[in-house]
Structure 1
Amino acid sequence: MFIIQEVIMYKMKMEMKSPFTTSFGTQYDREFILVEVKDENGLSGWGECVTSSLPLYSEEYTNTAWIFMKECLIPLVVHQQMNHPDEVFPKFEAYKGNYMAKSAVEGAIWDLYAKSKGTTLAKALGGSKQHIESGISLGIQENTEDLLQSIKKNVDEGYKRIKVKIEPGRDVSVVKEIRKFFPDLPLMVDANSAYTLDDVHIMKELDRYNLLMIEQPLTSGDLIDHATLQQQISTPICLDESIHCYREARQAIELGSCKIINVKIGRVGGLTEAKRIHDLCKEHGIALWCGGMLESGVGRAHNIAIATLANFTYPGDTASSDRYWEEDVISPLVEVHNGTIMVPQRPGIGYEVDLDIVNKYVVEKATF
């Protein structure tokens, strides 16, 4: 049992090491929110709201999440007594959507809970792995030669799986070129909803290249069209933006819309719901992996913890801290060695948040 004595929100803006391009556009920096919760004993737990500055990936973006957390979520938890973080998600259910904001507050409480029990967040969630495998996500690049060089660099660094972003006009030709030089590379593509069923011929062409999966080829809300497409191609479809909760995961499985699901903690509303989706998929033989949202070290640490659950069988998008950032907000940094990340063994998320770095990049702060 613990009491949430104080909640602090930090609106952050951090420049990325290099631009990252998807079919949604190009990101040069990340605007996101860190949430710190403190209990009556002075312990702190940390969560991250993985929104961006504009509502391109989902309806949420950083400014709306900031208001929603301040006005709706934090009043439900501050000065409240709790026994377990599984109590948080039901408290928030009356408010529609806003999953990334909900995830940030809930994630901070999960971290605090694990620390109060003297255990790791991974073990608190039921995870058992001592290390997780790491893949890498590469944005759309104008020059295929640059992409091939980037792939070689990451393969040489030991990353276990390469994901390449695609869009109409930069799809089959790009994959064909990659396969010329890397015929046996564990390779997948991510379309970020850039296609329709009118493009089924492109998806069938991609079948020729032995891909691990095609991630989110069609629009996020259309489970029926994804089911239709999956019947026509042999490459497994992986759903990302389509899955916001347990209910949508169940519907996708029943419709046959996918064979794999990418679980992003922020997208599904937090660790509690991510656990439920994990258990559902395990029961139905649907493989999982943990996706990334270009998180800082706080969100990255949460990803590492959830990926220790048994049914996360594909390498995730959690790369080393220095992959995207000149400076990260945690110590030690997340490091990848030979394509794996060792799961930290200190209580909670297993990393210390560096308040000096946080304060260097904070643009707004609120305390409750």
Structure 2
Amino acid sequence: MTITITEIELSLVRLDLIHEFETSSHRKSHLDHIVVRATASDGTVGWGECASPSDPYYCSESTESCWYVLSEHLAPMVLGRPWEHPDDAAALTDRLSGNHFARAGLDMACWDLYGQARGETLATLVGGTAERISAGVSLGIEPTVDALLDQVARHVGDGYRRIKLKCRPGWDLEPVRAVRAAFPGIALQVDANTGYRADSAEHLAALTALDDQGLLMIEQPFAEDDLLGHAGLAARLDTPICLDESITSPAVLATALHLGAADIVNIKVSRLGGIGPSVAVHDVCRAAGVPVWCGGMHEFGIGRAANLAVASLPGFTLPSDVSGSDKYYRQDIVTPPIRATEGLVPVPDARPGLGVHVDESLIRTNRLRHAVLKEG
């Protein structure tokens, strides 16, 4: 079957966070994401979400750069051009370099259209097998250790099965020890978001000190391009090293695995540029016996639904950052709302495609910018 997109509508939507979130680089109280509404020639509507950071801290992309790339490049490359599979739609934009977050927003919309055309959910289309996903939560840097312990207690009480703590130099061993002492049986990991340096003796000592805390993993301690630094640390520690920002393609993944830089891989649909590349990274890791889990970018319900579908693949053996959207937002833009029960989140199946319905009135209420792009 052939699908042709005739209109792409972009909405920059802001949702306030219930609780402010701080990483090694910055603190945020709200999220601005670009929602993509793609209309096919038969009137079917597909939805995608560009969950890029507002500022270029996590990666070189930002909300502004993604808006430009989507409106000036990606949309014109796809509008009016027929395709049979979402990978074919992605191939229409091959001459554009990088810009994975922008690509992911359009890619999700194409997969949503494809699923509706076939009458199948995204999870089924990609070969997912799980109906519920084991969910962990990611907790930011708090003003005090006591404030962090309060957050951990609340989420453990909600049934989440893994706690991830953001860390940075000076906020690492003390909070980890406090959480481990208060919750000795919880699955615990840390995420540095590239905040440490492999050439710093002080930083290496801090990371080494975490090695006896029974952590599931230490995630992305060094810069994304420092694969040798990660390989050296992995050889030095018993705690597994997980790569996030570094894994931008199956080719980079192959290099990281060859160097011994990654014991575990965090797969993010947005960072990899969409569903197809995410499935490809999963397949490489599964063949190599490397565990994977699904990371998140505080997605709204559209992106969260895509993450859950990908996380239903059989290689996702560790708890993923696919917690209920009510952890972050008082009201999401999809129905039914994505919720966790005893640490498990159902894979959406309310309709073909992404499996969720989008509340367009909430998009209009919360949007900051709007553009409609048409064929021709």
**Which TM-score applies when normalising by structure 2?**
0.96
Q: CA deviation at 1:307?
A: 0.3
Return 5-14 or 113-122, whichever deviates more.
5-14
- Secondary structure of the equivalent of 1:306? helix
Q: Partner residue of 2:180?
A: 179
Q: Partner residue of 1:190?
A: 191
Q: Partner residue of 2:367?
A: 362
Question: Which one of the candidate residues 304, 310, 313 is aligned to 1:309?
Answer: 313
Root mean square deviation of aligned Cα: 1.0
Q: CA deviation at 1:13?
A: 1.8
Q: Partner residue of 2:131?
A: 130
Q: Partner residue of 1:263?
A: 267
Q: Give, as a single letter, the amino acid of the residue that structure 2 aligns with 1:338.
A: E
Q: CA deviation at 1:208?
A: 0.5
| Percent of residue pairs bearing the same amino acid type | 37
Q: Partner residue of 2:290?
A: 286
Q: Partner residue of 1:167?
A: 168
Question: Which one of the candidate residues 213, 217, 224 is aligned to 1:213?
Answer: 217
Q: CA deviation at 1:84?
A: 0.4
Return 84-93 or 176-185, whichever deviates more.
84-93
1:225-249, CA deviations, whole angstroms, 9 ceiling, x for partnerless residues? 1001111011000001111111111
- Secondary structure of the equivalent of 1:220? coil
Q: Give, as a single letter, the amino acid of the residue that structure 1 aligns with 2:256.
A: A
Return 9-18 or 213-222, whichever deviates more.
9-18
CA distance in 2, matches of 1:341, 1:180: 28
Q: Give, as a single letter, the amino acid of the residue that structure 2 aligns with 1:53.
A: S
1:323-346, CA deviations, whole angstroms, 9 ceiling, x for partnerless residues? 111211101110100100111222
Q: CA deviation at 1:92?
A: 2.2
CA distance in 2, matches of 1:184, 1:327: 32
- Secondary structure of the equivalent of 2:55? coil
Q: CA deviation at 1:353?
A: 0.3
CA distance in 2, matches of 1:125, 1:322: 27
1:74-153 mapped onto 2 (5 Å cutoff): 74-153=75-154
**Which TM-score applies when normalising by structure 1?**
0.98
Moved over 6 A (4+): none
CA distance in 1, matches of 2:50, 2:242: 23
Q: Give, as a single letter, the amino acid of the residue that structure 2 aligns with 1:314.
A: L
1:194-216, CA deviations, whole angstroms, 9 ceiling, x for partnerless residues? 11122222222111011000000
- Secondary structure of the equivalent of 1:267? helix
CA distance in 2, matches of 1:255, 1:167: 25
1:131-150, CA deviations, whole angstroms, 9 ceiling, x for partnerless residues? 11110000001211111121
Do the aligned residues in 1 keep the contact of 2:100 with 2:272 (CA within 8 Å)? yes
CA distance in 1, matches of 2:113, 2:317: 27
Gaps of 5+ in 1: none
Aligned residue pairs, count: 368
Q: CA deviation at 1:183?
A: 1.2
CA distance in 2, matches of 1:115, 1:52: 29
Q: CA deviation at 1:88?
A: 2.6
Do the aligned residues in 1 keep the contact of 2:78 with 2:93 (CA within 8 Å)? no
Q: Partner residue of 2:330?
A: 326
Q: Give, as a single letter, the amino acid of the residue that structure 2 aligns with 1:139.
A: G
Q: CA deviation at 1:277?
A: 0.5
1:285-324, CA deviations, whole angstroms, 9 ceiling, x for partnerless residues? 1110000101111111111110001101111111111111
CA distance in 2, matches of 1:53, 1:196: 25
Q: Partner residue of 2:61?
A: 60
CA distance in 1, matches of 2:60, 2:281: 22
CA distance in 2, matches of 1:126, 1:39: 25
CA distance in 2, matches of 1:254, 1:365: 45
CA distance in 2, matches of 1:16, 1:180: 29
Question: Which one of the candidate residues 241, 259, 270 is aligned to 1:237?
Answer: 241
CA distance in 2, matches of 1:115, 1:144: 47
Q: Give, as a single letter, the amino acid of the residue that structure 2 aligns with 1:239.
A: L
CA distance in 1, matches of 2:27, 2:13: 19
Q: CA deviation at 1:90?
A: 2.5
- Secondary structure of the equivalent of 2:47? strand
CA distance in 1, matches of 2:281, 2:162: 23
Q: CA deviation at 1:129?
A: 0.9
CA distance in 1, matches of 2:92, 2:261: 31
Q: CA deviation at 1:41?
A: 2.0
1:73-116, CA deviations, whole angstroms, 9 ceiling, x for partnerless residues? 01111111111001133222321111000111111100110011
Return 193-202 or 243-252, whichever deviates more.
193-202
- Secondary structure of the equivalent of 2:4? strand
Q: Partner residue of 1:349?
A: 354
Gaps of 5+ in 2: none
Q: Give, as a single letter, the amino acid of the residue that structure 2 aligns with 1:365.
A: H
